[in-house]
Amino acid sequence: MSSKSLSQARVVKAVHGSRKTPSADCVTPLAAWLRANYGYQELIELYGRFISGPGRFDTLMREAIWRAAARQAGDGLRVGTGAAFMHLDRFTIGSHVFIGAQSMLQGRFDGTCVIGDHVWIGPQAYMDARDLVIEEYVGWGPGAKILGSTHTGVPLDVPIIQTDLRIAPVRIEAWADVGTGAVILPGVTVGRGSIIGAGAVVTRDVPPFSIAAGVPAKVIGRRSPGETREATRMPAGLSEAAS
């Protein structure tokens, strides 16, 4: 960023993560009723009626259906239009989580995905969530992706897409912020409070409170102790992508 751009920049309060937005009073009992009266496949079919609607009732129903279909989901879940999932029954979702429009969260029938409290997932995100943990207060930029598996590519005498999958755990630790369009590859841990630059391709672990950017991503800086807060408090400065 140029010095002129820096002089013109302004700092504003973050919105998501700095306040709690509770569910409507009817959502929790509605989700419980749906869980008790609809099978998982029926919930998926019901979700199709409300996946694209921008109105308040559609938004309420998306939340209720996600909370009914997930293994567990907390209060204040917000689900944008067109947000899709596979194997949501393998997901544990915390409270006050935002799922952006047209996001895709792809679980696995025998997998596990845990999303912590106050996580913000931007529009058009893609998450291969077969063995994924995203801890609390993570900001996930629009279009950023997680790849949690790869084909082995062997034997050579069959198409690659027919070879076995190698699933490796991906861990995004608390307070981390992942920039727009970044890609996290299988087996990677992004450390607590780290920042991943826009468009970065992360092929190896990123230490806590680091700044990583590039293709492949490299650590280009460290966040100073003066930027951190006690673990019991909200992180300083989630990115504007999470605002």
Between the CA of residue 177 and those of 191, 194, 205, what are the distances in Å? 10, 6, 14
* 184 falls within a domain: yes
- The boundaries of the domain holding residue 117 are 21-223
Tell me the per-residue pLDDT of 142-158, one tens digit each, with 9 for 90 and over. Answer: 999 999 999 999 999 99
* 238 falls within a domain: no
* Higher-scoring residue by pLDDT: 138, 228: 138
In this structure, how many other beta carbons lie within 10 angstroms of the beta carbon of residue 212? 25
Q: Output the domain CATH number for residue 146.
A: 2.160.10.10
* 162 falls within a domain: yes
* 112 falls within a domain: yes
Kindly give the pairing relationship between strand 210-213 and strand 218-222.
antiparallel
Domain count, the chain: 1
* 134 falls within a domain: yes
Q: What is the mean pLDDT of residues 202-206?
A: 98
Question: In the annotation, is 151 catalytic?
Answer: yes
Q: Report residue 155 as tokens.
A: 């034997």
Q: Report residue 233 as tokens.
A: 């408090």
Has residue 242 got a pLDDT over 70?
no
- The per-residue pLDDT for 1 is 60
Are 83 and 51 spatial neighbours (Cβ–Cβ below 8 Å)? Answer: yes
* 16 falls within a domain: no
* 73 falls within a domain: yes
Bridge partners for 72 per DSSP? 92
What is the percent of the chain where pLDDT is above 90?
A: 83
Are 158 and 140 spatial neighbours (Cβ–Cβ below 8 Å)? Answer: no
* 51 falls within a domain: yes
* Higher-scoring residue by pLDDT: 179, 229: 179
Tell me the per-residue pLDDT of 178-200, one tens digit each, with 9 for 90 and over. Answer: 999 999 999 999 999 999 999 99
